[in-house]
Amino acid sequence: MIPIECYFALSALLFFIGVYGFVTRRNLIAMLISVELVLNAVDINFAAINRLLYPNGMEGMFMTLFVIGVAAAESAVAIAIIINVYRKFKSDSVDAIQNMKR
Amino acid sequence: MFSYTLFIMLLPLLSFIVLGLAGMKMQHKVAGLIGTCSLGIVTILSYLTAFEYFGADRVDGVYQTFVPYNFTWLPLGNLHFDLGILLDPISVMMLIVISTVSLMVHIYSFGYMHGEKGFQRYYAFLSLFTMSMLGLVLATNIFQMYMFWELVGVSSYLLIGFYYPLKPAIAASKKAFIVTRFADMFFLVGILTFGYFVDSFSFSFAGDIVMGQGTTPFIEGNIAKAVAAGGFIIPTALVLMFIGGAGKSAMFPLHIWLPDAMEGPTPVSALIHAATMVVAGVFQIARMFPLWIQYAPEAMSIVVWVGVFTAFYAAAVACAQSDIKRVLAFSTISQIAFMMVALGVSLPGHHGAIMDNHAQLGYMAGMFHLFTHAMFKACLFLGAGCIIHAVHSNEMALMGGLRKYMPITHITFLISCLAIAGIPFFSGFSSKDEIITACMEYSPVVGWIMTGIAAMTAFYMFRLYYGIFWGTENVEAHEHHTPHEAPATMTIPLIVLCVITVGVGIYSTLGGFLGWGGSFGSYVSAEGTDYTIHFNTQIALTSTVIAILSICLATYIYKGETQPIADRLYKQFPKLHRAAYKRFYQDEIWQYVTHRIIFRCVSTPIAWFDRHIVDGTFNFMAWGANEAGESIRSWQSGDVRQYAVWFLTGTVALTLILLCI
């Protein structure tokens, strides 16, 4: 049986990879993918904790499914926004869109 | 009964609204006709009211007071503000005065204002003025009186400033408004004091009031309570109200606005600043007279002495003025002061009765003088208007010898001068003589002072008369423009007013000597009882002789082609002449007091406090918010990744903090 620490380590690794990608990437799509990684890290935590610590309950699993659903909806909205941003600025780089300033 | 009196107030209001809104689209003639016709109807209704009112039977020898309309406009706990119409002898008398003079002025203005720009506006304002003045005299309570009092002030302001492109007109209108407003502040404080302690604003303290048909005797309010709270309360309230009245009636030292008000069109001066509006203060005292005489007889000496001093001061200034309208303005101030004195000397006698013959005399004389003065002073002003119309100037120097050119104006002016001088068989004689008799009974000192002022009146009026119609003709000024008699629209009002002056004069003079009833005193007296005017032969003869002597003096000095005596006097007392010409520097004193003392010592610190402390607090808060925003503004870079870093850092920091706790 794989110890729970391994799951936590994987989850932490994924989370920080996601955060790192979100902060360093300029491409909007890449940033979106990074956000998905962060969400997946959370999902792994939920699933692992449910499976190993509370085997009789199913709340963690449901929460995981719920997060996947929300993530799908969020990506759909985000991609729609990105497409509109691309149409307007002819670029998918965040540095191009600094109109929010002031 | 008297339900038609409502139209007396509504018609001028209606014509004001119509002329004010649609006037500019009308032709001059149409606008003037609308105003004049509505006023004509008002005049007919006023005479009808007077006829019915004085024709009605007296109850216990007293004319009843009728209240055809009265509704509560604003209830406030115990107090309530009412609007309504009250008919009693003085308000009916005022109806006659206002509507007559106003109608004459409306007709006269056709000629005088002919072709003037803003003709329709002028008639609209005249209607507004007439409405407010009628509302003032018909008021059922002090508060309604105060509302219309202010409306009168506004219409006076509008009419003085009628020639608004001219600077002096604007300055004069502002001065009139501010000075009277200042006085009205005291009036308001007086009203509120009275209302607070008495719990009523109603005028029904005088006695029984007939509501509609049935008689319901009631005295509203609780004067006894106010007296119990302190004997000084009602006198204080009354004196405060008197200050308001003194402002409107141009009593010293609040008289300064009236001479300047002559910047308005002359018919307006006749209507507002000579015959009707300026007697509002006198009317107010007469209205509150039952209170004065019962609760504040001592305070009445204030009214007397203010009146005496004003009468003397104004007469002295009038002797030195060269602008004909100014002379008339100061004579108005002086004559109104006569009325004030007459009311003030109406003290109760020492015989136990609240009002005896003596009290009746002063009150009656004051009201009578108000009536006669309105007629002959309106006539004088309208005459002056004709002269100004002919000569295109107010200065006496440009006149002289006008009697050949304008015979009708000359005769009517002469008759009015004789009336104001107090010559028997002219209306001014009877009323002025009654005033002097009342003063003599009050105190011989006041009586003789008033006799002296009456002599001065005769002197300066005839100085004016000779200056205009006799003396040297200013050929130079008349060369390119020969003066001519005014058109019929202007002379007819003069003749009508003159006929009233002479008619009243002959009837009351004969009646006074022979003891006829049915004269003025039968209708208007302090208690509403029939009062028969009886001249005191000695006083009547003295004042007549003195008036004739001063007319002779004026004739001697001013009638000739040249005026050697006047010139010599002028050279001998240049300072006195200059001081009188400058109105004894009253305007300068006011200017000094307001600008140097009040503005500098009171207003400037208050303005400083307002600007620096009050405004400063709020400016500081705004400045703080602005600075804070300015300093954190650079954080908003628009760089999404930077936001993300901040977000992350924040999250980590928060997590750490939570972990530590």
Residue B81 contacts residue B73 (beta carbons within 8 Å): yes
Which residues are registered as beta bridge partners of B62?
B59
Helix (H, G, I), strand (E, B) or coil at B118: coil
Residue B497 contacts residue B382 (beta carbons within 8 Å): yes
On whether residue A99 sits in a domain, the answer given is no
Helices marked H in B261-356 — which ranges? Answer: 266-270, 280-287, 289-295, 300-318, 324-344
Q: Choose from B143-152, B430-439, B636-645 the range with maximum mean pLDDT.
A: B143-152
B639 reaches A (C-beta below 8 A): yes
Residue B588 has pLDDT above 90, yes or no: no
Residue B352 has pLDDT above 50, yes or no: no
Best probe of the B interface among A16, A23, A82, by most B CBs < 10 A, is: A23
Are residues A101 and B636, on separate chains, in Cβ contact within 8 Å? Answer: yes
Q: Which residues of A touch B644 (CB under 8 A)?
A: 22-23
Q: Which residues of B touch A98 (CB under 8 A)?
A: 637-639
Q: Which residues of B touch A26 (CB under 8 A)?
A: 641
Angstroms from B656 CA to nearest CA on chain A: 16
Task: Choose between B387 and B290: higher pLDDT.
Answer: B387
C-alpha–C-alpha distance, residues B623 and B636, integer Å = 21
Residue B230: alpha-carbon gap to chain centroid = 32
Best probe of the A interface among B634, B639, B642, by most A CBs < 10 A, is: B639
Helices marked H in B113-166 — which ranges? Answer: 119-138, 142-160
Q: Which residues of B touch A100 (CB under 8 A)?
A: 636, 638
Of B286, B471, B490, B461, the closest CA to residue B371 belongs to B286
pLDDT at res. B518? 65
Angstroms from A98 CA to nearest CA on chain B: 5
B637 reaches A (C-beta below 8 A): yes
Are residues B639 and A102, on separate chains, in Cβ contact within 8 Å? Answer: no
pLDDT at res. B208? 42
Structural tokens at position B107: 């007709």
Q: Which residues of A touch B641 (CB under 8 A)?
A: 22-24, 26, 94
- Burial group, residue A100, by CB count within 10 angstroms (0-12, 13-18, 19+): exposed
State which H helix or E strand residue B211 sits in: strand B209-211
pLDDT at res. B650? 93
Task: Choose between B454 and B633: higher pLDDT.
Answer: B454
- Which residue from B636, B640, B641 is facing A102, i.e. has the nearest CB? B636
User: B254-287: per-residue pLDDT in tens?
Assistant: 888 888 888 888 888 888 888 888 889 999 988 8
- The b/e string for B251-278 (b: 16+ C-beta within 10 A; e otherwise) is bbebbbbbbbbbbbbbbbbbbbbbbbbb
Q: What share of chain B is helix, strand, coil (3-state, %, to 5)?
A: 75, 5, 20
Query: pLDDT band for position B40 (50/70/90)?
Result: very high
Strands (DSSP E) along A32-86, which ranges?
none
Are residues A94 and B639, on separate chains, in Cβ contact within 8 Å? Answer: yes
- Cα distances (Å, whole numbers) of residue B194 to B74, B79, B291, B343, B500: 17, 11, 11, 21, 39
Q: Which residues of A touch B639 (CB under 8 A)?
A: 94-95, 98
Q: Name the one residue in this structure whose structure tokens are 């006539």.
A: B379
- Burial group, residue B78, by CB count within 10 angstroms (0-12, 13-18, 19+): exposed
Q: What is the DSSP string of B242-256?
A: HHHHHHHTT-TTGGG
Residue B84 has pLDDT above 60, yes or no: yes
C-alpha–C-alpha distance, residues B342 and B182, integer Å = 25
Of B391, B305, B368, the closest CA to residue B522 belongs to B368
Q: How many CB pairs under 8 A join A and B?
A: 28
- Which residue from A22, A24, A101 is facing B638, i.e. has the nearest CB? A101
Mean pLDDT of B450-469: 88
C-alpha–C-alpha distance, residues B411 and B408, integer Å = 5
Q: Which domain holds residue A33?
A: 4-94
| Size of chain A, expressed as the number of residues it contains | 102
Of B317, B252, B235, B247, the closest CA to residue B281 belongs to B247
- In what order do the strands lie in the sheet containing B215-216? B79-87, B66-76, B209-211, B215-216
C-alpha–C-alpha distance, residues B355 and B349, integer Å = 7
**Cα Rg of chain A (Å, integer):** 17
Are residues B638 and A98, on separate chains, in Cβ contact within 8 Å? Answer: yes
Residue A20 contacts residue B648 (beta carbons within 8 Å): no
On whether residue A40 sits in a domain, the answer given is yes
Of B333, B394, B389, B342, the closest CA to residue B365 belongs to B342
Mean pLDDT of B584-589: 82
pLDDT at res. B478? 65
The pTM of the full predicted model, rounded to 2 decimals, is: 0.78
Are residues B638 and A23, on separate chains, in Cβ contact within 8 Å? Answer: no
Angstroms from B646 CA to nearest CA on chain A: 10
Q: Which residues of B touch A99 (CB under 8 A)?
A: 638
C-alpha–C-alpha distance, residues B563 and B561, integer Å = 7
- Cα distances (Å, whole numbers) of residue B634 to A81, A102, B484: 26, 9, 84
| Size of chain B, expressed as the number of residues it contains | 661
Residues of A with CB under 8 A from a CB of B: 19, 22-24, 26, 31, 94-95, 97-102
Task: Choose between B520 and B455: higher pLDDT.
Answer: B455
CA dihedral (B606, B607, B612, B614) in degrees, to 10, reads: 70
Query: pLDDT band for position B364 (50/70/90)?
Result: confident
Best probe of the B interface among A15, A16, A20, A22, by most B CBs < 10 A, is: A22
Interface of B with A in 640-659 (CB under 8 A): 640-641, 644-645, 648
On whether residue A69 sits in a domain, the answer given is yes
Structural tokens at position B186: 């005291």
- CA distance from start to end of chain B: 91
Give the chain A residue whose CA is nearest to the CA of B633. Answer: A102
- Read off the CATH number of the domain in which A78 is found: 1.10.287.3510
Q: Which residues of A touch B633 (CB under 8 A)?
A: 102
- Which residue from A31, A97, A101 is facing B637, i.e. has the nearest CB? A101
pLDDT at res. B292? 82
pLDDT at res. A46? 93
Residue B654 has pLDDT above 50, yes or no: yes
Structural tokens at position B230: 């302190």
On whether residue A43 sits in a domain, the answer given is yes
Give the chain A residue whose CA is nearest to the CA of B645. Answer: A23
Work out how many domains chain A is built from and give that number: 1
User: B163-179: per-residue pLDDT in tens?
Assistant: 888 888 898 899 889 99
Which residue type, as a one-letter code, is found at position B57?
A: D
Are residues B638 and A19, on separate chains, in Cβ contact within 8 Å? Answer: no
Residue B137 contacts residue B94 (beta carbons within 8 Å): yes
Of A36, A23, A30, the closest CA to residue A67 belongs to A36
C-alpha–C-alpha distance, residues B54 and B521, integer Å = 12
Query: pLDDT band for position B189 (50/70/90)?
Result: very high
Q: Which residues of B touch A95 (CB under 8 A)?
A: 639
- Burial group, residue B561, by CB count within 10 angstroms (0-12, 13-18, 19+): exposed
Give the chain B residue whose CA is nearest to the CA of A101. Answer: B638
Residue B170 contacts residue B151 (beta carbons within 8 Å): no
C-alpha–C-alpha distance, residues B469 and B401, integer Å = 5
Best probe of the B interface among A34, A81, A94, A97, by most B CBs < 10 A, is: A94
**Average pLDDT by stretches of 10, chain A with 102 residues:** 90 92 88 92 93 89 94 94 88 75 53
Quote the mean pLDDT of chain B: 84
C-alpha–C-alpha distance, residues B367 and B323, integer Å = 29
Give the chain B residue whose CA is nearest to the CA of A99. Answer: B638
Of B337, B437, B329, B315, the closest CA to residue B377 belongs to B329
Query: pLDDT band for position B479 (50/70/90)?
Result: low
pLDDT at res. B43? 92
Are residues B645 and A23, on separate chains, in Cβ contact within 8 Å? Answer: yes
Query: Half-sphere exposure of residue B435, counting CA atoms within 13 Å on the CB side?
Result: 36
Q: What is the ipTM for the molecules in this complex?
A: 0.75
pLDDT at res. B25? 84
- Identify the sign of the CA torsion A17, A22, A23, A29: positive
Structural tokens at position A29: 């799509």
Are residues A94 and B640, on separate chains, in Cβ contact within 8 Å? Answer: yes
Angle between helices B427-442 and B357-391 (to 10 degrees): 140
Instruction: Pick left, alpha or beta for residue B349 (phi over 0 → left; psi -120 to 50 → alpha; otherwise beta).
Output: beta
C-alpha–C-alpha distance, residues B425 and B422, integer Å = 9
Give the chain B residue whose CA is nearest to the CA of A23. Answer: B641
Q: Which residues of A touch B655 (CB under 8 A)?
A: none
C-alpha–C-alpha distance, residues B322 and B315, integer Å = 14
Q: Name the one residue in this structure whose structure tokens are 């139209």.
A: B7
C-alpha–C-alpha distance, residues B565 and B559, integer Å = 11
Residue B596: CB atoms within 10 Å: 10
Q: Are strands B215-216 and B209-211 parallel, antiparallel or unpaired?
A: antiparallel
- Identify the sign of the CA torsion A38, A39, A45, A48: negative
Angstroms from A90 CA to nearest CA on chain B: 18
Are residues B641 and A99, on separate chains, in Cβ contact within 8 Å? Answer: no
C-alpha–C-alpha distance, residues A81 and A25, integer Å = 17
Angle CA B233–B248–B76, to nearest 5: 50
Phi, psi of B350 (to 5 degrees): -100, 25
Q: Name the one residue in this structure whose structure tokens are 């004067």.
A: B223
Which residue type, as a one-letter code, is found at position B240?
A: L
Query: pLDDT band for position B88 (50/70/90)?
Result: confident
Residue B153 has pLDDT above 50, yes or no: yes
Give the chain B residue whose CA is nearest to the CA of A100. Answer: B638
